[in-house]
Structure 1
Amino acid sequence: MRDVQTRDDLHLLMSAFYVKLLRDTNINFIFTEVAKIDLQPHLLELVDFWEEMLFNTGSYRKNVMQIHQDVNSNLKFSEEHFAIWLNYFNLTIDENFSGTIAENMKTRALSIATVMKIKLR
């Protein structure tokens, strides 16, 4: 398997990741009922976010923490929600890519989740 290299790679990852999340009744309601995401624009924002995180493109300008704080004010994220999210995230990466950037994504996701758990208490 090759490493994550392009915006298209990130789109593939985010799309496959959200298929998993939206099939899981333990977490899908956060996206469909609480945040009420519009999936296609949401996927593009996630691609922008990860493109910025991994390749420093400057393509993401939103405040990730504020977005999650707003959702958290309507439904408190639990340890289980973070565990499910991280498990599917890592699984999706491992199913599709291998390499330094793929590993960096998993490390950054864990760091982001850890910071969010602390700040959203």
Structure 2
Amino acid sequence: MTDIQTREDLHLLMSEFYLKLLADSEISFIFIKVAKIDLAPHLLELVDFWEQILFDTGNYKKNVLQIHMDLNQKTKLSSAHFAIWLNYFNTTIDENFAGQVAENMKTRALSIATVMKIKM
């Protein structure tokens, strides 16, 4: 396996990740019924976000914490939701990539999730 290197790698990763999330009834309702995401543009925003975090591209301009705080006002994002999200996230990375960027992405995801849980 190769490491995460390109925007295309991130798009593949996010697509595979969301297949898992949207198939899990314990968490899928948040995306489908509460946030009502339009998957194609949502995936592009996620790619922008992770490209910014991992490769410092400058493409992502939104406040990810505020987006999730607003979502938490609509439905409580529990520790269980974060655990499910992180499990699928890490599993999807491990199934598709290996290397320093992949490991950094998992570390950053844990850090982001931890901060969000504390703020909520």
Indicate whether the TM-score tops 0.5: yes
What displacement does 1:48 show? 0.0
Distance 1:34 1:71 in 2: 8
Following superposition, which runs of at least 4 residues in structure 1 exceed 3 angstroms of deviation? none
- SS at 1:105's partner residue? helix
Aligned pairs for 1:16-95 within 5 A: 16-95=16-95
Provide the aligned C-alpha RMSD in A. 0.3
Q: What amino acid sits opposite 2:70 in the alignment?
A: D
Give the structure-1-normalised TM-score. 0.99
> Matched residues, percent identical?
74
Distance 2:69 2:40 in 1: 22
- SS at 1:27's partner residue? helix
Distance 1:23 1:46 in 2: 18
Distance 1:63 1:111 in 2: 16
For structure 2, list consecutive stretches of 5 or more residues without a partner in the other structure. Answer: none
Number of residue pairs the alignment of both structures matches: 120
Aligned to 2:117: 117
For structure 1, list consecutive stretches of 5 or more residues without a partner in the other structure. Answer: none
